């Protein structure tokens, strides 16, 4: 099968998507639209995770690779391809998420 052709974005474009209903992030050169997820995020609904909500909101539109790595399990990281919409122009592997 031919490699999936992903869209290529600039960091400036990603920076425009900082709202709960329009939420993009960068992880290791890939661009993710996490809008479908954030409403169900642990902490968002439990009423006890204000700091998690703030961490997520502050990360929208940015490259939050390090912070994301620190708090998420391998299982969570493995499911991120579902949210991947493209790559950065400087990414070395633009044909895969």
- Work out which of 13, 20, 49, 65 binds ligand HEM, going by CB under 6 A: 49
In sequence order, the β-bridge partners of residue 84 are 32
Kindly give, in sequence order, each residue whose CB lies less than 8 Å from that of residue 88, ignoring residues fewer than 6 positions away: 8, 9, 10, 11, 14, 26, 29, 30, 31
Does residue 21 interact with ligand HEM by CB under 6 A? no
- Residue of the chain from 45, 76, 90, 95 that contacts ligand HEM (CB under 6 A): 76
CA distance 66 to 16: 21
**41 interacts with ligand HEM by CB under 6 A:** yes
Q: Return the number of the residue (3 or 73) whose C-beta is nearest ligand HEM.
A: 73
Based on the shown chain and the rule CB under 6 A, indicate whether residue 72 belongs to the binding site for ligand HEM: yes
């Amino acid at each position: 099968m031919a490699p999936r052709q992903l869209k290529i974005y600039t960091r400036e474009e990603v920076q425009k998507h900082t709202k709960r209903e329009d939420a993009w992030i960068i992880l290791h050169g890939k661009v993710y639209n996490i809008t479908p997820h954030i409403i169900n995020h642990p902490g968002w609904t439990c009423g006890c995770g204000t700091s998690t909500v703030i961490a997520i909101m502050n990360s929208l539109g940015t490259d939050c690779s390090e912070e994301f790595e620190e708090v998420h399990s391998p299982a969570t990281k493995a499911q991120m391809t579902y949210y991947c919409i493209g790559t950065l122009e400087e990414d070395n592997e633009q044909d895969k998420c």
